[in-house]
Homo-oligomer: A and B are copies of this chain.
């Protein structure tokens, strides 16, 4: 920005944030320039601390402050269920529903043949080992990967792989989202919501 090298470097670093383009990166840089030294120091401390103290849970690969994550440590959770998600943030979304009391497994991505990302790039091997070593046995694996093409591919791959290893492998239900508008819904979703209709 304006031939000021330190500023250019910062803008370049900010552009690496997911979904951030050149204009937004410049606006972020301008924010940091305007911010007080205290605010910037606070930010740097928070960032360093995250890199130093946040690790992946060795069991489910969610974020943890060292050792097993909170959920894996929680004896009240149902150990016979594993919900498989793509990203650690997905856990928070599912936890907010209050509808699930089992454990998780974070893949850290999805299989994407288009982008050359195979099963070896996500934590599939770790999931299989976990299922095979589990005692007591895992009863259900819920596949909660995203309902997009990569998430679907991953779910199908895992369903195939886990077949026979656990009592049942399930996939989260498709249908119309609450607050959605039927006539704005794509036909695939609407088709699934009809197939998955329930008695009231």
Decide if A5 is an interface residue (CB 8 Å cutoff).
yes
Check A192 for interface membership: any CB of B closer than 8 A. no
Interface size on A, residues (CB 8 A): 52
Which residues 73-105 in A have Cβ within 8 Å of B in the complex? 87-89, 91-92, 95
Q: Is A182's CB within 8 Å of the partner chain B?
A: no
Considering the complex, give the chain B residue whose CB is closest to the CB of A56. Answer: B33
> Is A44 interfacial (CB 8 A cutoff)?
yes
Contact, CB under 8 Å: A39 / B51:
no
Q: Interface of A with B (CB < 8 Å)?
A: 1-7, 9-10, 12-14, 16-19, 24, 26-33, 35, 37, 39-40, 42-44, 46-51, 53-54, 62-65, 69-70, 87-89, 91-92, 95
Q: Which 8 interchain pairs have the tightest Cβ spacing? A: A10-B46, A9-B46, A6-B49, A13-B43, A6-B50, A10-B50, A13-B46, A6-B53
